[in-house]
Amino acid sequence: MQSAGIIEIETRVRMAETDLMQVAHHANHFRWFEMARVEYLRTRGLVLKALIDQGILFPIKEVYCDYKEPARYDDELVIRAELIEFTKVKIVFTYQILRKLDNVLLATGKTTNVFTDLMGRISRLPDPVFNQLRK
C-alpha cells in the first residue's frame, strides 16, 4: 500500500532475530525501518545502489525507536514509513511497526539520513536526483 508520502512493507520475524528474552532483539527494528525506507525510495525511482555508483552516500545521522510491545518470533509485521522532511542535505522518515494479525502498534521510530560524498563530507543532492524524489 502506498499513498502520498507513505509506504508499507511486510516481513516476518526470523528466528535469528529473536533473543533469549523470547522476543525480537531491539536492533532489528532499525533493519526493518531501513527495508521500508529503501522500498519507499525505490517506488519513487531512486535506487540506492545507483546513487552509490554516482558517488553519493546517505549515511544515517540520527535514529530513535520507542518500543511499545514486543515483536515475537514468526509474527508477521507491517512496517509503515512516512517521509516527513526532504531537502538537498537530509531526508527524514518516521515509522510504525504493526503486528499484522491484530494491527497492534509494536513500535514507532524516526531516522535522519544525510547525503555525503565518498569521503564522508556532507554534500547537497544533485538537482536531477532531488527533483526525481520531489515528484
Which residues would be at the binding site for a copy of itself (CB under 8 A)? Answer: 12, 14-16, 18-23, 25-28, 30-31, 34-35, 38, 47-49, 52, 57, 59-67, 69-70, 73-74, 120
Q: Rounded to whole angstroms, how far apart are CA atoms 77 and 134? A: 28
Q: Rounded to whole angstroms, how far apart are CA atoms 86 and 90? A: 6
Q: Is the CB of 4 or the CB of 77 nearer to a copy of itself? A: 77
Q: Rounded to whole angstroms, how far apart are CA atoms 73 and 16? A: 9
Burial class (CB in 10 A: 0-12, 13-18, 19+), 110: middle
Minimum CB distance to a copy of itself, residue 97 (Å): 14
Q: Is the CB of 34 or the CB of 82 nearer to a copy of itself? A: 34
Minimum CB distance to a copy of itself, residue 20 (Å): 4
Q: Which three cell numbers stand for residue 82?
A: 512516512
Minimum CB distance to a copy of itself, residue 29 (Å): 8
Q: Is the CB of 4 or the CB of 121 nearer to a copy of itself? A: 121
